[in-house]
Each structure stands twice: as C-alpha cells, then as structure tokens.
Amino acid sequence: MKEKVAAVLDKIRPSLQADGGDVVLVDVTDDGIVKVRLTGACSGCPMSTITLKNGIERILKKEIPEVQSVQSV
C-alpha cells in the first residue's frame, strides 16, 4: 500500500510545491494510518491542518479506500 500512497502523493505534490511547500511520506501502518511530514512553506503555515485533512487525506481516502487517516509527524 505504501507504493500506492506514494503515487497519489506524487499527484498532489505539484499543488503544494506551487505554494512553496511539499509533503514527505514517512510511513504507512498496517491499519491504514498514513504518516507524512509537511515541509517548506507548509511546515509553518497556519492552514497546514486544513491542507492535511481537507486536501491530502480526502484525496488519499478517495483514491485508496484502505487509508483510514493521515497524520502529520
């Protein structure tokens, strides 16, 4: 599943990079928890929680139903 998540993140990445940020895949647990690290402008942005939940998590869950949640580490 980690490869699937990485592929979807590669689709999302250009949008984040356009705003000076990026996302790094840290881990995918057996129970469907995706752990990512927001970097660049995203790491200190007050909107990063919204980006994480309404953007990254929503897209990952849509593309990969096994994903339960996305956490920033």
Residue 40 backbone class (left: φ over 0; alpha: ψ -120 to 50; beta: rest): left
Binning pLDDT at 50, 70 and 90, where does residue 71 land? very high
- pTM here? 0.91
> Which pLDDT does position 44 carry in this prediction?
82
Length of the chain: 73
Domains of the chain, residue spans:
2-72
3-state secondary structure of 46: coil
What percent of the chain is predicted at pLDDT more than 90? 84
Cα angle value 37/3/62 (rounded, 5°): 75
Mean pLDDT, rounded, for 5-30: 95
Query: Domain 2-72 adopts which CATH fold?
Result: GMP Synthetase; Chain A, domain 3 (3.30.300)
Mean pLDDT, rounded, for 13-22: 93
pLDDT digits (tens, 9 = 90+) for 34-64: 999 999 998 888 889 899 999 999 999 999 9
When computed from its CA atoms, the radius of gyration of the chain, rounded to whole angstroms, is 11
